[in-house]
Amino acid sequence: MNFISNAVEAMEAPGGGVLTIKTRHSAKKNNILVSFKDSGIGIPPENLSKLFEPFYTTKKKGKGVGLGLSVAYGIVEEHGGSISVDSEVGKGTTLKVMLPLKQPPDTPDPDGGPHGQH
């Protein structure tokens, strides 16, 4: 949800913008990829490396504390996935989330036991 709300905020200029969400399954890599592409203002290159740092924000005071992307990054990483960002100022941003379809071996089974043991 955070990815969508950030994209909407990036497209608040008069005339709005377009947010395209795509999903793709790769049987070969055994993962799914979800991409969020907006036609917003884009992210300056000097800010890209800071996006997932806790408390980093470019929002006006009272609009956010800079935890949304940091928390999302932690959740995705904890599930063995990754997030990548491609952005160009004035042309928009694409954020890609890759999640494996198989749990990493050291991940606890949702039923409470070690993964792979039933």
pLDDT tens sequence across 58-110: 766 656 666 778 888 889 999 999 999 999 998 999 999 999 997 656 656 55
Options 3.30.565.10, 3.50.50.60, 2.60.40.10, 3.60.110.10; CATH for 2-100 is 3.30.565.10
Note the pLDDT of residue 81.
95
The residues spanned by each domain of the chain are 2-100
Could you tell me if 32 and 49 are in contact, meaning their C-beta atoms sit under 8 angstroms apart? no
